[in-house]
Structures are given as structure tokens and as C-alpha cells.
Amino acid sequence: MTEIPSNKLITAMHGVQGALTGVKRDSSNPYFSNRYASLEAVIDTLRPHLQEHGLIVTQAPGRMTEHGCLEVTTTISHISGQSMTTRFEIPLTKRDAQGAGSAITYASRYSLMSLFMLPPTDDDGEGAIDRPTRVVSEVPTAPTKSSNGIKKDNPDRWKQVERLIRDATTTDMLRDLKVGLIDEVKDWPVAWREALNDEYSKRYEELA
């Protein structure tokens, strides 16, 4: 059960969130041509600000749930003794040490990014604080479908693609899958391609 944080912890988290706007995408997935922020980059970005505001973060894997998920617990503690705890359950698609390690890394990374509102960016998180204000066009644009759009509009195809990604047991198989999907996915809305990238990157990390 998540504990309700009190004022000192909230004040410290407010300070950390206010100091950063993002974490640099320092890693790449060569098989799907996308970049992401590694766990190391997330920790390096957060560490000086956590120490400045008296925060300590611990993360640890826990039990396997009845649904075949691995539980990763994140605890944020303030030097005053106040703390809060959250849990992230991630499915284990490969039940061995490598699969467990990839799942723990994935859950740890996204837990930290979510708790501290730290989105991945193409710029260094520190430098992004002072970047010029971006000019936004006032020309109205068509609404973008959510990342769940393909699941609703074409659930059978989405399930089929998800199954193909899960069934891949080597990075070579993933490479072949990517090549086979190129012509199809290039016409998908951006949100759909991003959702596919997430699925693909997760499986790639498990295999790599």
C-alpha cells in the first residue's frame, strides 16, 4: 500500500521536479531506429538533485505475481524519515536470468521517470532548462489518435503484431520482423508507430 507522503517529502520532490525538464536519449535500438533514455542516464540526471533536496531512492525486485509479472518496488525517502513506496508490475516474457534482468531495468527506469516527471528528450536534461521558448503555430491541426487507436480500430492486427514481437527469440528475428513491417507501419499514425516502438524496444532489451 502506498504511504501518503507528508510535507517535507512533497517539498523535496517539488524541488527536484522543478529543476529538470527531461533526460537525454543516450541509447539506441539499431533494429527499430529509435532512441531512448537508459536507466544509467536517468540515475545520473536525478542523482545530484536528489542529494541536493535530501532524497534517497531505493529500488528492488520482489515476488512473481500470480499473473506472471515481476514486481519492482521503488521507495523514495527524505532525510527527515518520511517516505513513499510504489510498485511496478511488468510481465516476464522470457523466464530466465536475462529476461528478469531486462524486466527489472525496464521497470526501474520507467518508475523513476514517472515519479519525477522526467520525459526523454533529444537534449541534455540540464541544458533543456534554459532552452528558448518554442514557437507554436496557431494553425489548427487534426487531432492525433491515441496510442491505443490501433488496438481499437484494428485489434486483430495489433494482437498479431504483438504476438510476433513476443515470439521473437533472437535479435535477428526482430530485425527480420522490422523489415517485414516497414511498408505497413510507414502509413500508420505517429502515435501508433510510437506504441509499436515501445513494444519492440521492450522485447529488444529482453533479448539484447
More confident residue, 91 or 83: 83
What is the β-pairing status of strands 23-24 and 120-121? Answer: parallel
Whether the predicted pLDDT of 25 surpasses 80:
yes
Whether residue 49 contacts residue 129, with contact meaning beta carbons closer than 8 Å, is answered with no
- pTM exceeds 0.85, yes or no: no
Mean pLDDT of 7-27: 90
Output b/e per residue, 26-46; b: 16+ Cβ within 10 A: bbebebbebebbbbebbbebb
Q: Could you tell me which residues are beta bridge partners of residue 83? A: 77
With 70 as the cut, is the pLDDT of residue 148 above it?
no
For the segment 46-51, the average pLDDT, to the nearest whole number, is 96
Q: Is the pLDDT of residue 129 over 70?
A: no
Q: What is the C-alpha to C-alpha distance for residues 171 and 50, in angstroms, rounded to an integer?
A: 36
Give the number of other Cβ atoms within 10 Å of residue 155's Cβ. 10
What does the buried/exposed string (b/e) look like for 117-147 if buried means 16 or more CB atoms within 10 Å of the residue's CB?
ebebbeeebbebeeeeeeeeeeeeeeeeeeb
Spatial distance between the Cα atoms of 30 and 192, rounded to a whole number of angstroms = 19
The structural domains of the chain, with segments of one domain joined by +, span: 1-129, 144-208
Spatial distance between the Cα atoms of 120 and 19, rounded to a whole number of angstroms: 15
Pairwise CA distance, residues 54 & 12, whole Å: 7
> Quick one: average pLDDT of 59-88?
90
Q: What is the pLDDT of residue 143?
A: 39
Least-confidence region, from 49-53, 58-62, 96-100, 128-132: 128-132
